[in-house]
Chain A
Amino acid sequence: MPADVGKAAALLFFAVVLQLSIMAQITILGGHPNLLLVTLVCIALLRGAVFGAVAGFCAGLLADTGVFGTLGFTALLLTLAGYWTGRYGETTGRDRAHAPLLSIAVITFLYEIAALVLRYMLGQNAPGSATFAGLVPTMLLNLLLTLPVYALTRRLLRPREWAAREVRLLG
């Protein structure tokens, strides 16, 4: 477990740095790839809801710190993203080959909408039209990132034996 925490922390730190300094300025057809979200979703899928939520909170806080953003903004969104993905990974999505891609597609959609609503509530710039116009390209870019990121994450964090644990619990 401590080794997992170390690996996930290193992976997320790397993702935060890349996201802030490189990915945030990439725009393709109005879409913006979100490497941090993709990495978090992959980690949450492999390590479950609580791990995903805590990882999301810490990574979000680091991201908010790095760009002088509203502290807690990204942390809140990534906590929820990590939790929901983790739950999906523990239940319906376990051992499904399409789980990473499906999770990314759904979470990207929800993340963008939630970010828009939160920005609107905080009185920040929240252009709905630009968000919706860039939603599909952002989703596609994140899906493209998912394949290598999930492969790397899976290599570093071996999938848990969910099934074995369930049998033990029932037994």
Chain B
Amino acid sequence: MVIGGLVVLALILITVSFREPTSGPLHGVQSAGATVLRPFEVAAERVAQPFRDVYGYFAGLVHVKSENEKLKAQVNKLRQQALLGEAARSQNQSLRKQLNFIDSPLFPSDYTPVNTRIIGWRNEFDERVVIAAGRNNGIHQETPVVTSDGLVGSVTQVSPTAALVTLLTDESSAVQARDQDTGAFGVVRHGAGQNSLIVDHVTKDKLVKVGDVIVTAGTRSKQYPSLFPENIPIGYVVSVGQSDTALFKQIQIQPFVDFSSLDAVTALITKKKIPQAP
């Protein structure tokens, strides 16, 4: 009798929770519960952190030599790019000023960073994490979340003191992106395997090469309404293919962010109003 009642209650909760919008009363209760649990999760996370650091240190030593050589080459390349980029940036700024150019919020200057810790993971297949900052810190739905490496995802549910972040690798995530080198536009979404990303909807006439860096395009579409700021790095192209029958190129990218070892992230709170499509 008790068991039957509990099973029925659980099924009712699943049905209501599944159908209810995120602003519904059940989600409100859930939000309050998450707020109560938050201090305990933060405490557990803090206790575990030193152990995780020690493990990470020894795990990192395994590939340290080969990685060092690769990074040295990368530093040289990036140093050259930085010089060119700095010149282009100052020229861009002065030209914008001359044109009185009205732009959407620019990354990172038009955003206030809220640095926070990940305090919970849903499960191994659900690419969502809970962060220890919420509405009280200015976070709202669709707030972009990044790390120093690149784009992580966006906020999909928020309570006063915590928020649920849907990672870029989740099935439901997609972001308008462009090739930084060639300007080809596409949509970055999850690939076939776990933690793999592809760039979809890139027509065959566009040029995309292996090694190209993919960044957010900063544009909005009806299908993918999240507006990420422009120029947040997402990953680099590892393979490009096309077939006679397919409409678009098949592009696979390696994300800059290691989604399996996320620890601290930054939520970007815009200082400017985000333009809404009519």
Contact = CB atoms under 8 A, between A and B. Distances in A.
A136 to B, nearest CB: 15
Given A70-B18, A125-B125, A127-B125, A83 B3 contact: yes
Contacts of A17: 37, 40-41, 44
Interface residue tally of chain B, by bracket?
35 or more
A22 B157 contact: no
Given A21-B120, A32-B124, A65-B37, A71 B130 contact: no
B9 A27 contact: no
Interface stretch (B26-34, B61-69, B141-149, B205-213): B26-34
Nearest to A83: B3
B164 A68 contact: yes
A134 B33 CA distance: 31
B181 interface: no
Given A53-B2, A66-B34, A72 B122 contact: no
Interface residue tally of chain A, by bracket?
35 or more
A76 B7 contact: yes
Interface in A122-164: 122, 124-127, 130-131, 134
**Interface SS of chain A: helix, strand, loop or mixed?**
helix
Given A21-B45, A130-B194, A70 B17 contact: yes
A21 B44 contact: yes
Interface string B11-53: 1111011100000001001110110010011101100100000
Contact of B30 (A71, A75, A122, A131): A71
Contact of A57 (B10, B31, B37, B126): B10
A105 interface: no
B200 interface: no
Instruction: List 8 A-B pairs, minimum CB-CB distance, nearest first.
Output: A72-B13, A65-B33, A24-B121, A76-B10, A71-B17, A72-B14, A68-B164, A21-B44
Interface of B: 2-3, 6-7, 9-14, 16-18, 26, 29-31, 33-34, 37, 40-42, 44-45, 48, 119-128, 130, 157, 159, 164, 170-171, 194, 260-261
